[in-house]
Amino acid sequence: MDYLQMESYLKAISDHNRMLILKYLSKDSLCICEFTELLDMTQPAISQHMRKLKQAELVTEEKRGRWTIWALNVRHPQYPILIHLLSLLPEPERTIETLVAEGKKVVCN
Amino acid sequence: MDYLQMESYLKAISDHNRMLILKYLSKDSLCICEFTELLDMTQPAISQHMRKLKQAELVTEEKRGRWTIWALNVRHPQYPILIHLLSLLPEPERTIETLVAEGKKVVCN
DNA sequence: TGAATCAATAAGCAAACACTTATATAATAA
DNA sequence: TTATTATATAAGTGTTTGCTTATTGATTCA
């Protein structure tokens, strides 16, 4: 890994909203519309963050019906470091359980 | 460590020139004028990078005569992670040994 | 078919970033 | 003292970032 690759990797992570997204993904695969609820952000904002994470190969996407399910890329060479960094961060106030309780968790299969 | 602290920490690291600076500092304490030689950058550019690293508490400074000697802050809570990230990066072409050979290494004590 | 839903992309914008040159400050050397 | 050296800071500039609103594309449902 050279200096520019490392820079891209770290820049993809060093945004508090993207760290929140990654923190959620370390628990569960989620779609854009769920993130808009969890982070209270607009759909295009989330989409653009996911594009950044995808370009850094930190996440993978899987189309399922109307939804795109996003997951952590566990095959990324620096995946263990990412998990460690995420472990240093507190649990977000808004949890996936809240989503479920509000009937906003997407179930697609 | 909350999300904004983590963001500041990672943003301080995620610049290829600052990573080079940190890589050098993981070997030796150095002053600004040595970095201008090693990185081929202007003095104010280096000074401004050091300020960023200092604000993130990644480095410490010690005034010695006209020079300011910069060192890695080994007491930073995430120092071990930093060292690990730096270990993933290749050795820079321009080495401190080259500086010495050219008589440009500062000796101050 | 037509309406609704989920998501990607485009364009625009304010703020942050990484430099530059110019200048100021402080210590040393002549 | 005066000149030199090392560094910090100020101001300016082009680029990047993280959002916004508007639009488009694709899938599902009635």
pLDDT in tens, A14-50: 999 999 999 999 999 999 999 999 999 999 999 999 9
Q: How confident is the model at residue A109 (pLDDT cuts 50, 70, 90)?
A: very low
For strand D, the positions having any atom within 7 A of a protein Cβ are 5-11, 17-23, 26-28
Pairwise pLDDT comparison (B75 vs B97), residue with the higher score: B75
List of chain A residues whose C-beta atoms are within 8 Å of the C-beta of residue B11: 14
At position B80, the amino acid (one-letter code) is P
pLDDT digits (tens, 9 = 90+) for A97-106: 888 888 777 7
Distance, in Å, from the CA atom of A85 to the CA atom of A93, rounded to the nearest integer, reads 18
Give the lowest-confidence range in B36-40, B56-60, B105-109: B105-109
Confidence of residue A108 (pLDDT cuts 50, 70, 90): low
pLDDT tens digits along A65-89: 999 999 999 999 999 999 999 999 9
The three-state (H, E, C) secondary structure of chain A, written as one string: CCHHHHHHHHHHHCCHHHHHHHHHHCCCCEEHHHHHHHHCCCHHHHHHHHHHHHHCCCEEEEEECCEEEEEECCCCCCHHHHHHHHHCCCCCCCCHHHHHHCCCCCCCC
A42 CB contact with strand D at below 7 Å: yes
Helix axes A43-55, A3-13, angle to 10 degrees: 150
Give me the phi and psi of B34, to 5 degrees please: -70, -40
Q: Phi/psi class of residue B103: alpha, beta or left (left: φ > 0; alpha: ψ in -120 to 50)?
A: left
Give B96 CA → D5 C1' in Å.
21
Q: Name the residue facing B3 among A6, A78, A89 (closest C-beta).
A: A89
Domains of chain B, each with CATH number or no CATH: 3-101 (1.10.10.10)
B93 touches chain A (CB under 8 A): no
Q: Is B2 on the interface with A (CB under 8 A)?
A: yes
Higher pLDDT, B106 or B7: B7
pLDDT at B25: 98
Tell me, in Å, how far CA of B42 is from C1' of D4? 19
B6 touches chain A (CB under 8 A): yes
Q: What is the pLDDT of residue B26?
A: 97
C chain positions with any atom within 7 Å of a protein CB: 5-11, 17-22, 26-28
Among the ranges given (A33-42, A58-67, B97-106), the one the predictor scored with the smallest mean pLDDT: B97-106
Distance from CA of A90 to the nearest CA of B (A): 7
Chain A with chain B: Cβ pairs closer than 8 A: 59
Q: What is the pLDDT of residue B109?
A: 43
Query: Touching check for B101 and chain A: CB below 8 Å?
Result: no
* pLDDT reported for residue A69: 96
